A and B are shown apart, each in its own frame.
Chain A
Amino acid sequence: MAAGDANRSMEPMPILLKVLSGFSVALFSVALYMVWFYAPREVVMGEVQRVFYFHVAAGWVGALAFLVTAIAGAIYLLREESRWDLLALSSVEIGVVFILINIVSGSIWAKPIWGTWWTWDPRLITATIMELIYIAYLMLRQGIDDPRRRARFGAVYGIAGFISVPITFLSIRLLRTIHPLVFGGEGGSLAGSFNMEPPMFLTFMISLLAFTFVFVTLLWHRYRLQLRAEQLEQTKMKLLLE
Chain B
Amino acid sequence: MAEDRSPTVLRIDGGREAGIRRYFRAISAIVWKDLAAELRSRELMSAMLVFALLVILIFNFALELSVRSVETVTSGVLWVTFVFAGTLGLGRSMAIEKDRGCLDGLLLVPVDRSALYFGKLLGNLIFMLVVEAIVLPLYSLLFSVNLFDPRLLLVILLGSVGYSAVGTLLASMAVQTRTRDMLLPILLFPIVLPVVVAAVKASNAIQQSLEMATIWPWLNLLIAFDVIFVAAAFMLFDFVVEE
Contacts and interface: CB of A to CB of B under 8 A. Distances in A.
Given A156-B173, A156-B236, 16 more contacts: A132-B190, A133-B191, A139-B183, A140-B187, A142-B179, A143-B183, A149-B176, A152-B240, A153-B176, A156-B239, A157-B170, A160-B169, A160-B233, A161-B190, A161-B191, A164-B190
A143 B178 contact: yes
Contacts of B125: none
Interface string A222-239: 000000000000000000
Contact of B194 (A142, A143, A159, A167): A167
A124 to B, nearest CB: 14
A144 interface: yes
Nearest 7 A/B pairs, CB to CB = A143-B177, A143-B179, A132-B190, A133-B190, A143-B178, A156-B236, A136-B186
Given A144-B178, A157-B173, A163 B191 contact: yes
A140 B177 contact: yes
A144 B236 contact: no
A160 B191 contact: yes
A196 B183 CA distance: 45
A77 B173 contact: no
Provide the main secondary structure of the chain A interface.
Answer: helix
Interface of A: 77, 129-130, 132-133, 136, 139-140, 142-145, 149, 152-153, 155-157, 159-161, 163-164, 167
B37 interface: no
Contacts of B191: 133, 160-161, 163-164
A133 to B, nearest CB: 4
Nearest to A133: B190
B36 interface: no
Contacts of A130: 190
B242 interface: yes
Contact of B176 (A77, A129, A144, A160): A144
A136 B228 CA distance: 21
B57 interface: no
A136 B239 contact: no
Contacts of A133: 190-191
Interface of B: 166, 169-170, 173, 176-180, 183, 186-187, 190-191, 193-194, 228, 232-233, 236, 239-240, 242
A93 to B, nearest CB: 18
Nearest to A134: B190
Nearest to B243: A149
A191 B80 CA distance: 33
A164 B242 CA distance: 26
Contacts of A129: 190, 193
Contacts of B176: 144, 149, 153
B172 to A, nearest CB: 10
Contacts of B180: 143
A153 B240 contact: yes
Question: Which of A129, A157, A159, A160 counts the most B-chain CB atoms under 10 A from its CB?
Answer: A160
B240 A156 contact: yes
Contacts of B187: 136, 140, 157
Contacts of B169: 156, 160
A190 to B, nearest CB: 21
